[in-house]
Amino acid sequence: MITMAGLILLVQALALFMATPMEINEMQAFEDPTQVSHSIYYIGLILAFTVLVLIAIKKNMTWLISLFIYFAVLSTLYYVFFALLTLFPSLAGLEVLVSTLLSAGLTVLLYKYPEWYVIDIVGICIASGVSALLGISMSVIPVVVLLLLLAIYDALSVYKTKHMITLAEGVMDLKLPILFVIPKQRGYSFLKENFAEGEKREAFFMGLGDAVMPTLLVVSASIFMENGGPITYPVLGAMLGTLAGYFALSILVMKGKPQAGLPFLNSGAILGFFAGVFVSGSAIM
């Protein structure tokens, strides 16, 4: 569980690092980052994707899910590598070619050999890249609204409708790279993991979204806050708040029942952020 917390911190640190080159290269998704409507837009996309995945699982069209996920992985890795390569003047003019080769190679490796450490490495790249891209695209208020809406949605989908549990189990059977995997013992193989109902899990699992969503606030605070920067009180508060929410979540997870992660992680990030704002006296932009 401590290792998983370390992965969250690593994602947040890398997202902060990648935010600057992505902002310089104008990779923002929106021209006006202050519009709260962007939050509604992303909620709509998430709901639409959830419906499509549930239909694909029911219709036994899991190949369609796999195709979409691997395309998303390839695209995200390209943006990540492109942003990082722009930091090296010696590679000027070669960013597109090298980024394409690296992202394609890593995606093929992931498809051919989705062992847990390959999935985790790719997961770190994807989670930090998506967090940086969305974090520089939305200012603090839209991000806070998005995190609150997602926390409510996650709670309803896990505890009320339970469709998120169905979705997670269906996707995990495909062994797709949309989660972090931490083995409980040496010699573990994700390729041999049995996801049949009632079988004991030999590893801890956490969806990439649980790392991405609170990290949006970390990145947004570093970019859009007055007197912003990589490490300020609001940024540090959001990071520490995420960890506090994670450990509260872990206590319940250890009891063996599925739990909605975002209510804990998002609320921790938001409370920590506002605590940092209070301490620093910074203005929210």
268-281 pLDDT, tens digit per residue, is 999 999 999 998 87
**pTM score, whole prediction:** 0.89
- How would residue 56 be classed by pLDDT, with cut points 50, 70 and 90? confident
pLDDT at residue number 230: 67
Q: Of 23-37, 117-131, 245-259, where does the model show the most confidence?
A: 117-131
- How would residue 135 be classed by pLDDT, with cut points 50, 70 and 90? very high
What is the SS3 assignment for 203?
Answer: strand
In angstroms, rounded to a whole number, what is the distance separating the alpha carbons of residues 10 and 7? 5
Mapped to the 3 state alphabet, what secondary structure does 147-192 carry? HHHHHHHHHHHHHHCCHHHHHHHHHHCCCCCCEEEEECCCCCCHHH
pLDDT at residue number 267: 96
Q: Where are the domains of the chain?
A: 2-212
Compute the average pLDDT of residues 137-153: 93
